Amino acid sequence: MKRAVLFDLGGTLVHYFSSAEASVVYDEALHEVEELLRSRGLLAMEPGEVRARAGSAQGSTGDHRVHPLEERLAHIFQLDGLSESPELERELCQAFMRPVYARGRRYEDTLPALAELRSRGLRLAIVSNTPWGSPGQLWRKELRRQGLYDQVDAVVFCTDVGWRKPARQIFEFALAKTKTEAQHSLFVGDNPEWDVAGPRAVGMQAVLIDRSENGASPEETPVRNLYELLDLL
């Protein structure tokens, strides 16, 4: 019997952007940071140089360790000592995330499904990587804006742990937060590697959700929405 259901965020509970849109969103986010730095007289680079440095900072580390957005921005824009200016650091991260949050649209089945699962006595959690290592503090604020923060018992972002899905550390941390053993927990997400292979490696059952119905994983039989998930439980 399952006692807890853990959910991915983007592509599962809220739509932000697809993988095909990621480079466009990244460019928009960098532009927001450029404009902020320019308005403060702190931009000492040409746009072409920014894009060249941004390319090397876009990816994630091969061992799934978190590379924080603050460090990425300091590298891209050559902001030595940025960590010593926490207010500017926060404002730059907020500017970078603005295009992401502007796209956020909660799926219509999200709140009804969470309410139904809670009514069944299940513990609920959101366990998510953050785009480009963006701060968990900003994402908690975004969860409140989406009306999700108070609908779950625990929230875990990769920046809380220092490891991104599918690393086992983030799932083990989340299980401890929900006070549930792996065999009594179910993970739901839209990425076959992060949200299916990752939790299964620590002994959790996992269900793939494919809202686009694009056949993301031929080895899985995904649910198309959270109402179908309710029927499985």
Q: Mean of the pLDDT values across residues 181-202? A: 97
CA distances (Å), 74 to each of 42, 77, 79, 81, in order? 12, 6, 5, 8
What pLDDT score was predicted for residue 213? 67
Element (H, E) at 188: strand 185-189
CA 42 to chain centre: 29
Look at residue 198 and tell me whether its pLDDT is greater than 70. yes
What pLDDT score was predicted for residue 215? 59
What pLDDT score was predicted for residue 140? 98
User: Residues 53, 75: contact at Cβ < 8 Å?
Assistant: yes
pLDDT one-digit tens code per residue, 41-96: 999 887 778 888 887 666 666 789 999 999 999 999 999 888 899 999 999 999 99
Q: Which of 27-36, 47-56, 88-97, 144-153 has the lowest mean pLDDT?
A: 47-56
Distance of alpha carbon 203 from alpha carbon 96, whole angstroms? 36
Distance of alpha carbon 60 from alpha carbon 190, whole angstroms? 19
What pLDDT score was predicted for residue 115? 98
pLDDT one-digit tens code per residue, 205-231: 999 999 986 655 666 789 999 999 999
CB atoms within 10 A of CB 8: 22
* φ, ψ at 135 (rounded to 5°): -65, 135
pTM of the model: 0.94
What pLDDT score was predicted for residue 218? 64
| DSSP result, 33-95 | HHHHHHHTT---S-HHHHHHHHHHHSS--TT-B---HHHHHHHHTT-TTGGG-HHHHHHHHHH
